[in-house]
Amino acid sequence: MTKTGRRIIGIDLGTTFSLAAILDGGAPRVLPNSLGEALTPSAVSVDPSGRVLVGEAARARLALDPDSTAVAFKRSMGTADRFLLRGRSYSPEELSALVLRTIREDAEVALGGPIDEAVVTVPAYFGELQRRATKDACEIAGLHVERIVNEPTAAALAFGLHDKDRELRAIVLDLGGGTFDVTVLEIIQGVVEIQATAGDARLGGEDFTDALRDVLLQRFQAAHGQAPSSGIGVARVRAAAESAKRTLTSESRAVVRLLGVPLAGGGEVDFDTSLSAVDAQAAWRALLGRIEVPIRRALKDAQATPSAFDEVLLVGGATRMPVFRERMQDIFGAKLRTDLPPDEAVALGAAVQAALKVGDAAVADLVATDIAPFTLGVETVAEAGTTLVHGVFLPVLDRGTVLPASRVRSLLTVRAHQTQVAVRVFQGEHSQCGKNQLLGEYLVKGIPRSPAGAEQIDVRYTYDLNGLLEVESTVVSTGQTSTLVIERTPGLLSRKQVEAARAAMLRIKFHPRDALPNVTALARAEELHVELLGGERELLALGMQRLRLALESQDPAEIDPARAALNDLIGRLR
């Protein structure tokens, strides 16, 4: 779609997979990537030659070269975490930008023209720093962020587009690869009204995989007297756990068979076992308990009971797990709705939001509201008799406030002749600032010298639909106004840092786009080559060599048949 002649798309930047979508002919649709697939793995790898791989080609290298491959970095957005890939250190924002750039380039090919604007989704429980870090990643990738939307809200928009002639109350359960969000909403004549949201920013399908990995590692230790090697060995066991998790979504037992797993003490062994649905349920008991915590909070905030909902919308690939669906059915009854692909619902909703931004006639009657996921407040000093208690959290804008919103609270000086006040902005729900998250601080100067309590400073918080915050302070007696400037904090890039990161990206050597299918085919073949033995391994090695020779010729007439033959061989040998 266009806005003043420019295309704008919806992007779901996921922990495990990412994808883009647009509104086409009145309905949202996912844009295929360069491999013709809907989902692009959120993975980045650097091969031995220094080439940066993104997507499926990177994910396929995870089991072979885990130390040079990064995944699940979305969980580190807005933090000081770094990822070291072959001697170069990457921030979560830089890695996310590589994925976003790939998504953008694939969308440009699919649509036949440039794209530089996007609506991007984030977990509802992402805080201010995480949202700002996401926006920075988009800018590094050359995307102007038209709107940041909560993932459950986006999913609600996708469902709401189809339900704009209905009235219903629903709850969105969004269990993705790295996060779990719960959103209570009502859809009335095309108006999607968000009433409450809660979540866990570090709970998702990756944790369920890790729980199965731990079971397999325990069995491996018991069977062989030592653990697999900390690099490739553990990575291969985790890959087996991921495969078993997927198998258990449709079968009652998953067989795990690994050949030549390197040991921590040297040497290699084979590993054979199986995981039943009962084994998985036992491994996931604690995780399922954690899932219920944000559900209870969202229900309490919305003053609702499980029986109050007409439908329960399941979003996120991890909601395919039978154990999750069974638990949700126990809580909410037989109202689970899965008619939209759980992996695609968020991106489809982002496309709807993009259409709303440009005034697309297909969504002219659709309206969406949103709420603040966290309480935002300021540090104050409280009086306890003759004692001053510091570090008290004063809420300015409460969790659940409908956005956009602007709220103001008044503070008084606490000392005689006080000429400045420190405004410290926090996010959280605890009464003590020390247990909440500091977003930033600055000094309000130029306060007239007066007795204690004589000068009033009004602190106003303005929070928009992008989840971005502006803080203004006004000295009432003088009218002097100051605006919050958040100084450098972990994960929050300055403008200069964003510009430097974008310049650095230009120096990174990407594999040409038309050759990415070849890189991916070879990466998939290498992953399979590890598992095979004997004649099958030799046959696969021959297929890889044929493609490599064809690539040296740079002749499509040789490359395309060689790649097709290798992909066909991979399919037959798996």
Query: Backbone dihedral region of 547: left (phi > 0), alpha (psi from -120 to 50 degrees) or beta?
Result: alpha
In this structure, the answer to whether residues 10 and 94 fall within a common structural domain is yes
Which CATH number characterizes residue 348's domain? Answer: 3.30.420.40
Which has the closest alpha carbon to 183: 199, 205, 167? 199
What confidence score (pLDDT) does residue 167 get?
A: 82
Among 174, 279, 379, 455, the one annotated catalytic:
174
Cβ burial of 113 (10 Å; 0-12, 13-18, 19+) is exposed
Looking at residues 453-464, what average pLDDT do you find? Answer: 88
Q: How far apart are CA 458 and CA 475, in angstroms?
A: 7
**Which pLDDT band, with edges at 50, 70 and 90, does 171 fall under?**
very high
In this structure, the answer to whether residues 228 and 145 fall within a common structural domain is no
Q: How far apart are CA 445 and CA 179, in angstroms?
A: 41
Q: How far apart are CA 183 and CA 295, in angstroms?
A: 9
CA distances for 94 relative to 39, 136, 381, 531, angstroms: 20, 9, 39, 33
Determine, yes or no, domain membership for 357: yes
- What does residue 350 show for φ and ψ, rounded to 5 degrees? -60, -35
How many CA within 13 A on the CB side of residue 98? Answer: 29
Determine, yes or no, domain membership for 501: no
Determine, yes or no, domain membership for 488: no
**Which pLDDT band, with edges at 50, 70 and 90, does 388 fall under?**
confident
Total domain count, the chain? 4
Looking at residues 361-380, what average pLDDT do you find? Answer: 79
By residue count, the chain amounts to 574
Which has the closest alpha carbon to 161: 183, 184, 182, 187? 187
What confidence score (pLDDT) does residue 551 get?
A: 77
CB contact at 8 A, 76 and 137: no
In this structure, the answer to whether residues 300 and 445 fall within a common structural domain is no
pLDDT beyond 90 at 165: no
Q: How far apart are CA 221 and CA 176, in angstroms?
A: 30
Which CATH number characterizes residue 214's domain? Answer: 3.90.640.10
In this structure, the answer to whether residues 99 and 228 fall within a common structural domain is no
Looking at residues 85-95, what average pLDDT do you find? Answer: 95
In this structure, the answer to whether residues 386 and 530 fall within a common structural domain is no
The yes-or-no answer on residue 300 being catalytic is: no
In this structure, the answer to whether residues 324 and 392 fall within a common structural domain is no
Residue 224 carries which side chain, given as an amino acid letter? Answer: H
Determine, yes or no, domain membership for 508: no
Q: Comparing 66-75, 169-178, 286-295, 399-408, which segment has the lowest mean pLDDT? A: 399-408
Parent domain of 357: 2-203+290-371
Determine, yes or no, domain membership for 61: yes
Q: Before 322, cis peptide (omega within 30)? A: no
In this structure, the answer to whether residues 457 and 560 fall within a common structural domain is no
In this structure, the answer to whether residues 17 and 86 fall within a common structural domain is yes
Determine, yes or no, domain membership for 322: yes
Q: How far apart are CA 264 and CA 496, in angstroms?
A: 44
The yes-or-no answer on residue 357 being catalytic is: no
Looking at 191-233, which runs of residues are DSSP E strands?
A: 191-200
Domain boundary among 268, 285, 302: 285
In this structure, the answer to whether residues 276 and 418 fall within a common structural domain is no
Q: What is the 3-state secondary structure (H, E, C) of 313-372?
A: EEECHHHHCHHHHHHHHHHHCCCEECCCCCCCHHHHHHHHHHHHHHCCHHHCCCEECEEC
382 or 503: which leads in pLDDT: 382
> For residue 305, what are its two tokens?
């009971």
Q: How far apart are CA 386 and CA 167, in angstroms?
A: 56
**Cα end-to-end span (Å), the chain:** 40
Looking at residues 525-537, what average pLDDT do you find? Answer: 85
In this structure, the answer to whether residues 116 and 9 fall within a common structural domain is yes
Domain boundary among 439, 464, 483: 483
The sign of the dihedral angle between the CA atoms of 245, 158, 95, 426 is negative
In this structure, the answer to whether residues 112 and 245 fall within a common structural domain is no
pLDDT beyond 90 at 556: no
Determine, yes or no, domain membership for 301: yes
- The full DSSP string for 231-284 is THHHHHHHHHHHHHHHHTTT-SEEEEEEEEEEBTTSSEEEEEEEEEHHHHHHHT
Looking at residues 32-51, what average pLDDT do you find? Answer: 95
CB contact at 8 A, 42 and 35: no
DSSP bridge partners of 427 = 376, 437
The yes-or-no answer on residue 174 being catalytic is: yes
Which CATH number characterizes residue 422's domain? Answer: 2.60.34.10
Angle (deg, nearest 10), helices 128-140 and 495-507: 40
What confidence score (pLDDT) does residue 487 get?
A: 34
Tokens 């969406």 found at = 368
pLDDT beyond 90 at 284: yes
Domain boundary among 325, 346, 371: 371
Which has the closest alpha carbon to 469: 483, 481, 448? 483
Among 47, 56, 65, 74, the one annotated catalytic:
74
In this structure, the answer to whether residues 197 and 267 fall within a common structural domain is no
Q: How far apart are CA 378 and CA 422, in angstroms?
A: 10
The pTM of the full predicted model, rounded to 2 decimals, is: 0.76
The yes-or-no answer on residue 74 being catalytic is: yes
Average pLDDT taken over every residue of the chain: 86
What confidence score (pLDDT) does residue 505 get?
A: 41
CB contact at 8 A, 47 and 136: no
Determine, yes or no, domain membership for 213: yes
User: Which pLDDT tens digit goes with each residue over 196-217?
Assistant: 888 888 899 999 999 999 999 9
C-alpha 500: how far from its chain's center? 24
